[in-house]
Chain A
């Protein structure tokens, strides 16, 4: 991978995997990979709502991701890991940006790699998930903002249908949130059975944790 080698701790926590997954997406982007290759310093990400925390050590191309908030962190960002990008996401609190502006600017870029449209993200998710055991053979995604539809998989009546706003669809299919959680929270609606809901959620969890990146 050009510019960055993302190294995850042994027996990582979910949030470590999630952050590592985000960094892998950045590493796959030529411009952000160059940023990763230059970055140096220690970043701590702390949850504002629970005990989840991650430390990322940038070593000019080698990026080590592990649990907990390191005491020697140059930059500490407190945020809600479960709601990082939604319209109601609380603003993260940042400490250390003034003393470490290059690190802060670089982190801002690599922690938010560019995403595509909800259609592009849904297609990428489908390519990742479609071959898993017991997956629906076809998935219809409907954007409630404008009624746009995207059919994925085998033609014909879909086995499963997901509906939501463009923001909600983008969030779940880009791996920023988990399908089952968003379904239970009412952020997306779905038509289908529990088997497909469960298996899609399993793939969604894996996607959030960086599998397939």
Chain B
């Protein structure tokens, strides 16, 4: 294996390899390694301190709970490279990057490593004889201001890279972003990341990139990498990009996750023999997603800012709901044709960790299939502005964490250690917001959120 790696490094004239792995908060952690060190470190990969997984987004060590993966007086964890993800940088000659899984010093995947959690979930799906195909929609907002300028302004009153009107798809709006987006897709092409389309979205400076469907781990890897490329292109061009769920008063950033299920190479969501085209597997899948949605919500809306997007008529779903071809519900189901039969999970905020968000969704589907859960009735109305009798999604970090903590079926699939750690990190985030300068009575984005999340999530 190492010989093959060395041949690959020779062929691409690589002198430096950057490791890239997502923390639970979705921050991309890694090291720049000399070629020699990278090769020498295989297969375990370079070591980093385990405190890297125990800092919050603000850099504060998280206190209050403990898990088996942590060492009592701080120690190392490893970044084990997945060599199938080794790619040469299209813009930094001599540099390659490689996605990693986080392991303990013995090489066992950490129970809280997001990529490993997703892998485990995919494996469990595989044991049912099923495989998923996944495509992320990546939304963000671009500003003419550099990151430094944005910070100096307190991330307020920035100049969006687009028209002020809340209109989507405008090509002349998109033209204002071509410097950023042309270079982004050029790099994506160079990295072998298959993108389908990009467009200007409704909020000023908002864009959306659609990736081609692929297997779940690759889809999450690519989402992490696309965001990284966008941040780096913005940095290189003197602009700024954020994936905060709602950095301004305009429409928020979502992370819609399209997925379908394949069994023995065939579209398993579709059944031509049923009047609606939905297979029993699809029904159970939807049933599971519905039953676990309050718990999954914690992974799909992970920050204080995620909840700013969850207001009426702002395009984000607010109730636990599903329906055929309805973009106001949580699960937009498409079952008219085997080629397009899929579920678009529309709950995710722009600031999700793609690995954990996807793992939570697949876990919900697995719970439904394993339990044969039938979905409730389809919601055939507009899902915004509904009265309280409709089952609303949790509306705060705390209530989402509570819902996840109570859902034993989700913990069974995702792992109790992951759920324990995640629930505590969300409660910690809530504590930090409330006690370090956030305003719990604010109805719009606060300075605390902007300073904490703008250039990190």
Contacts and interface: CB of A to CB of B under 8 A. Distances in A.
Contact of B441 (A67, A82, A180, A198): A67
Contacts of B441: 51, 53, 67-68
Interface stretch (B3-11, B58-66, B160-168): B58-66
Interface in A59-83: 67-68, 81-82
Nearest to B448: A51
18 contacts: A11-B395, A14-B431, A14-B434, A14-B435, A50-B435, A50-B436, A51-B438, A51-B442, A52-B440, A67-B441, A134-B65, A180-B64, A197-B63, A198-B63, A199-B64, A199-B66, A201-B63, A202-B424
Contacts of B399: 11
A48 interface: no
Nearest to B73: A193
Interface string A187-213: 000000111011101100100000000
B321 interface: no
Given A51-B442, A68-B440, 10 more contacts: A11-B395, A11-B398, A13-B440, A14-B431, A50-B438, A52-B440, A134-B66, A195-B72, A202-B64, A205-B64
Interface of B: 62-66, 70, 72-74, 395-396, 398-399, 424, 430-431, 434-442
Interface in A40-61: 50-53
Instruction: Name the residue in A13, A134, A205 with the highest tally of chain B Cβ atoms < 10 Å from its Cβ.
Output: A13
Select the residue from B74, B435, B442 with max chain A CB neighbours within 10 A: B435
Nearest to A178: B63
A172 interface: no
Contact of A52 (B65, B74, B435, B442): B435
A202 B74 contact: no
A13 to B, nearest CB: 5
Interface string A153-169: 00000000000000000
B437 A51 contact: yes
Interface in A5-62: 11, 13-15, 50-53
A14 B438 CA distance: 12
A180 B434 contact: no
Contacts of B440: 13, 51-52, 67-68
